[in-house]
Amino acid sequence: MSQTNKNLQEPLLEVSNLIQHFRVSRSFTVKAVNGVSFNIYPGETYGLVGESGSGKTTIGRSVIRLYQPTSGSVRFQGREIAGKLDGETREVLRKDMQMIFQDPMASLNPRKKVEDIIGEGLMIHGLAKDRKERQQLVGDMLKKVGLSPEHAARYPHQFSGGQRQRVGIARALIMNPKLIIADECISALDVSIQAQVVNLMKDIQEETHCAYLFIAHDLSMVKYISDRIGVLHLGYMVEAGTKEEIFSNPVHPYTKSLLSAIPHPNPEVERHRTAVAYDYASSGIDYAAGTKHSVGGSHVVLGTDEEIRTWTA
Amino acid sequence: MSENKTILNIRDLDISFKTNAGTVHAIRGVNLDLQKGETVAIVGESGSGKSVTMKAAMGLLDANATVNRGEILYTYTDEKGQETTVDLLKLPKKQLRQHYNGQRIAMVFQDPMTSLDPTMTIGKQIMEGMFLHKNMSKEAAKARALELLQLVGITDAEKRFKNYPHQLSGGMRQRVVIAIALSADPDILICDEPTTALDVTIQARILELIMDIQENMKLSVIYITHDLGVVAKVADYVNVMYAGKIVEVGNVNEIFFEPKHPYTWGLLSAMPDLETEDDRLYSIPGSPPNLLHEPKGDAFAARNQFALAIDEKAEPPLFQVSPTHWAATWLLHPDAPKVEIPPELQARLERARKEAEKYL
Amino acid sequence: MEKGYIPSKEDFTLLQRQDLYTDTNFASQSYWKSVAMHFFKNRRAVIGLVIILLIILFAAIGPSMNEFGYRDIVQYRNENNKRVVAKGIAPQIPALHKLFTGEELEGNFSQYTFLFGTDDLGRDLWTRTWYGARVSLLIAFVTIIIDMIIGMSYGLVSGYFGGLTDNVMQRFVEIANSVPRLVIVSVLAIFMPKGMGLVIVALLLTEWIGMSKIARAEMLKIKEQEYVLASRTLGAGHGHIIFRQILPNTIGPIITQVMFSIPTAIFTEAFLSFVGVGIALPQCSVGTLIEDGFNNITTLPYQILPPIIVLALLMLGFNFIGDGLREALAPKLEDM
């Protein structure tokens, strides 16, 4: 998908200074997300990349309001959704924003038939006249994701992981959403099945022009599917930009270490590759002290003035 | 230089599982060699049988498994200095556990959180193996444990000795698991997806650690994985497994630069390449077969766009491509039509070869 | 393995396939079918099931198998116009007696077959035992079903909302749980006439707690699962999520708990009747029969045996079933 011209379009999703903290006990708070900001435009794919503990899943769940953000603003289609939701906003949110989950084993209700799982959204919002129409819509959706309509009467445990993910995609897609948050939705799948699912997602995007927030830790897959990328570490967005900007000119040392850690399916190259080491604790960098600096185009990096100067020298 | 002695030899292994739904023919005739000092990778996806094959060698098969035929021959030097060969499948489980598991053949599992006992300090867990297999005194065991912790790259070994698993990060826990595996000086280390649960920045370090240890301690290592990046980094020889059989085997360069089996083509093409601007990733359609209903002929035929009529009638034998490279596909039969590697993959392999030339 | 297949030239042609793209593999066993299979392989569970089914069968048809009703006193007037009542007759089966001894049975009521004998008032114990079993079972089933509904809902709601709601609801449970059953019954006895009503209310007030704990525990396990999150992102309301998404996944452990609660209910009823707070005469239940029989335990021991054995079998049977269910429902590795 080519990069959309931002000047002419309103962002579909605007996240500003999102903070998400979880109070675990009187003395201990998990600071999962610390002031993250990014925008997503209609029809594009935004890749959110990071390792465990980076806060990427939390961001996804906060955006779709499974959690209430501790502070910050999340605007979806122009409406503020970070605070208390009124009925109309909630209705819009629950229809136009959908999520695909990570674990194919746990994301489908084991006691429900596939047709009930996929049709749940239709049932809740009354989008189908009657059972027959719902079954029809579900059957169409099954075909679209590469399964056959006779699968509708079966239960999740009768399918493989890749097939279950397709059911999850169908469940999200049948609502005709404008934004789909894909929370590590391919991480639990075999490599060849990952390719199938990613191709399917691209096809869907071409047909419906929906936008994706693609959350993942596999950088090569993120580069393949995303238009723009945000790099997360310990709850901060340390670098963001188009995929070309990030991959051809990584500035932040964490991004550099992440890129150098990508394995190549090339034995000779792989044996000689050394990853750039990066340890936050001993690096002397304090993310909280940094601010967003632009380093060209839409490429931004988090850091103090001095750090930016060193890294871009 | 490896001594070219075969220390583990799996011959015609055939295993079935009895389940509520019927009999699953999980391993259908697997042959595999491991030579001293080498690293062999078994590559396959879920359900291919790669883990089951090595669990058979360790005597860790579930109760409902039946070994229909085959042998796993392990050659080693016993306490008297004699070289002996045993068939691990014929040994009683008790003997396997007392004399072989941990002591000669050790295994590193995927999830470090569940491989470690959460109620024991890690120091104690490392020493446990030594008490069991080597009858060491407490002081000697502790000294060796600290040595091992340092060997696996845990710097403040004294402090970590008293830690519990939940106090360590994922990467550190995996290092501890490796230390435990090495504590009894095994000949063979089997690593079952050792880096899948770890962050990508830690993965390379764990693999490099294992490679270092391998060189110092003259270990032979078997990796079970679905990650081709891991294979490219560590393997000398690669076995590609599908539906309970090995469909291609060769040294690592042959598999990555000159693959011959359509499944291997599929695996290589399914990884996104940082260089291509391809709009679509080539993906193998469908899912792996359900081995409850064993397919007739080639198990891969249903998903193979290059399937031949004979693939539905008979399973292909291994055809030789080079002294070290075999592939089980009818496409290599002299009568088969000429089928070229798909152009995208061809282009990718060209690029890969050019890049590799920089290092050769 | 097709060893020895000799290929022909035609075999080496490409199958140009177009239909590679639709997934057709899937495993074939339904969940409840595999639970059933597991259950029926368990010998004890099957024995328990058979026992319970037999008792239910006899409870249903036993009382009508002979000519006596449960309150019929077997009596007649003799030549002096005195009432002769068939009281205290040990079990007798005239036909068998003739078979074994070759003689006719003697006694005033020798023409009747009293399989379990008669009680002190001259009533046939076979009929009363099975009638009593019927009453006991009915009370037990009714209260347990209601308790299941109340307890399950309470536990599910408490666990779902968590936080303050859960805290308050659980404190209430703790208080309710700490009051001994006898105290509850005694207090009830002040306000209510003794009888089936009292027993049912007493059971209702106590058995729901166990159910709610199980339901709450299951809810806590399930509520963070991704399929529940998916329902939330689709906009489902709380009621929909609790009762239509999560509840079906908790049915297994709840049914198991039901199987264990029924014997408790039966025993509680028996106990209450035994101490005299339960069923009113001439209604009988297993408990009242035991009480009646207890009075003559040293002289006419046969009177207490049938109800005690039925009680024991009921409790054993349901416990076996409950154990078997719990095992069959235990999570196993799914498909291969």
Q: Please write the tens of the pLDDT for every residue from A72-108.
A: 999 999 999 998 888 889 999 999 999 999 998 899 9
The span from the CA of C114 to the CA of C40, in Å, is: 37
How far is B272 from chain C, CA to nearest CA, in Å? 20
> In angstroms, how far apart are the furthest CA atoms of chain B?
68
pLDDT the model gives residue B337: 83
pLDDT the model gives residue C24: 58
pLDDT the model gives residue C278: 75
Comparing A29-38, B331-340, C108-117, the range with the smallest average pLDDT is C108-117
Neighbours of chain A (3+ CB pairs under 8 A): B, C
- Which pair of tokens denotes residue A129? 């006249």
The span from the CA of B229 to the CA of A117, in Å, is: 36
CA dihedral A309, A47, B168, B130 (to 10 degrees): -120
Residues of C in contact with A105 (CB under 8 A): 334
pLDDT the model gives residue C23: 56
Closest in A90, A111, A171 to C230, CB measured:
A171
CB-based contact, B45 to chain A, within 8 Å: yes
Residue of A nearest to C227 (CA): A107
- Which pair of tokens denotes residue C97? 């007696």
Neighbours of chain B (3+ CB pairs under 8 A): A, C
What confidence tens digit (pLDDT) does each residue in A159-177 have? 888 889 999 999 999 999 9
Higher-pLDDT residue of B31, C12 = B31
For residues B222 and B189, the answer to whether their CB atoms sit within 8 Å is: yes
Cβ <8 Å between C11 and B313: yes
Give yes or no for residue B293 having a pLDDT over 90: no
Confidence at B242, pLDDT banded by 50, 70, 90: very high
What confidence tens digit (pLDDT) does each residue in B302-351 have? 888 888 888 888 888 899 999 999 999 988 888 888 888 888 888 888 88
Give yes or no for residue C20 having a pLDDT over 60: no
For B284-292, what is the mean pLDDT? 79
The span from the CA of A270 to the CA of B271, in Å, is: 15
Closest in A99, A148, A157 to C230, CB measured:
A99
Q: Is B179 left (phi over 0), alpha (psi -120 to 50) or beta?
A: alpha
User: C285 exposed, middle or buried (CB, 10 Å; 0-12, 13-18, 19+)?
Assistant: buried
Closest in A97, A121, A157 to C27, CB measured:
A157
CB A83: neighbour CB atoms within 10 A? 12
Closest in A94, A106, A159 to C234, CB measured:
A94
Beta bridge partners of B237: B40, B251
Closest in C26, C226, C229 to A158, CB measured:
C26
How far is A269 from chain C, CA to nearest CA, in Å? 34
Q: For residue B54, what are the contacts with CB-CB under 8 A and spacing of at least 6? A: B42, B107, B190, B192, B222, B224
CB C330: neighbour CB atoms within 10 A? 12
How far is B280 from chain A, CA to nearest CA, in Å? 6
CB-based contact, C17 to chain B, within 8 Å: yes
Give yes or no for residue B352 having a pLDDT over 70: yes
Cis-peptide into C282, omega within 30 deg: yes
Buried residues in A14-27 as b, exposed as e (16+ CB within 10 A): bbeebbbbeeeeee
CB-based contact, C24 to chain A, within 8 Å: yes
User: A306 exposed, middle or buried (CB, 10 Å; 0-12, 13-18, 19+)?
Assistant: exposed
User: B4 exposed, middle or buried (CB, 10 Å; 0-12, 13-18, 19+)?
Assistant: exposed
Note the Cα C314 to chain centre separation in Å.
Answer: 8
Q: Which percentage of chain B shows pLDDT scores above 70?
A: 98
Q: For residue C321, what are the contacts with CB-CB under 8 A and spacing of at least 6? A: C45, C48, C49, C52, C259
CA dihedral C82, C86, C90, C92 (to 10 degrees): 110
The span from the CA of A52 to the CA of C108, in Å, is: 89
- Which pair of tokens denotes residue B84? 């002996």
Give yes or no for residue C28 having a pLDDT over 70: no
Indicate the average pLDDT of chain B: 86
Residues of A in contact with C26 (CB under 8 A): 151, 154, 158-160, 163
Comparing B282-286, C6-10, C264-268, the range with the smallest average pLDDT is C6-10
- Which pair of tokens denotes residue B171? 């990467």
Q: For residue C301, what are the contacts with CB-CB under 8 A and spacing of at least 6? A: none
The span from the CA of C149 to the CA of C143, in Å, is: 10
Cβ <8 Å between B256 and A265: yes
Location of structure tokens 């004998």: C117
Give yes or no for residue B118 having a pLDDT over 80: yes
Q: Which percentage of chain C shows pLDDT scores above 90?
A: 24
* Mutation target among A1, A191, A262 for the B interface, most CBs of B within 10 A: A191
Pairing of strands C75-77, C83-85: antiparallel
pLDDT the model gives residue A227: 93
Neighbours of chain C (3+ CB pairs under 8 A): A, B
Give yes or no for residue C2 having a pLDDT over 50: no
pLDDT the model gives residue A228: 95
Chain B from 72 to 131: CB within 8 A of any C CB: none
Question: How close are the terminal C-alpha atoms of chain B, in Å?
Answer: 18
Confidence at B51, pLDDT banded by 50, 70, 90: confident
CB-based contact, B185 to chain A, within 8 Å: no
> In angstroms, how far apart are the furthest CA atoms of chain C?
112
Give yes or no for residue B255 having a pLDDT over 90: yes
For B121-125, what is the mean pLDDT? 89
The span from the CA of C158 to the CA of C165, in Å, is: 6
Q: Which helix (H) or strand (E) holds C137?
A: helix C125-161
pLDDT the model gives residue C335: 37
pLDDT the model gives residue B278: 66
Question: How close are the terminal C-alpha atoms of chain A, in Å?
Answer: 33
Comparing A262-266, C21-25, C248-252, the range with the smallest average pLDDT is C21-25
Amino acid at site B347: A
pLDDT the model gives residue A134: 92
The span from the CA of C128 to the CA of A309, in Å, is: 97
The span from the CA of A175 to the CA of A204, in Å, is: 13
Of residues B196, B206, B201, B142, the one with CA closest to residue B172: B206
For A289-293, what is the mean pLDDT? 88
Nearest-10 crossing angle of helices C31-41, C43-61: 90
What confidence tens digit (pLDDT) does each residue in C188-223 have? 888 888 777 888 888 888 888 888 999 999 999 999
pLDDT the model gives residue A107: 92
Q: What is the ipTM of this complex?
A: 0.88
How far is A41 from chain C, CA to nearest CA, in Å? 21
Q: Which helix (H) or strand (E) holds A13?
A: strand A13-23
Give yes or no for residue B194 having a pLDDT over 90: no
For C147-175, what is the mean pLDDT? 92
Amino acid at site A163: Q
For B109-120, what is the mean pLDDT? 86
Confidence at C53, pLDDT banded by 50, 70, 90: very high
Comparing A91-100, B81-90, B242-251, C275-284, the range with the smallest average pLDDT is C275-284
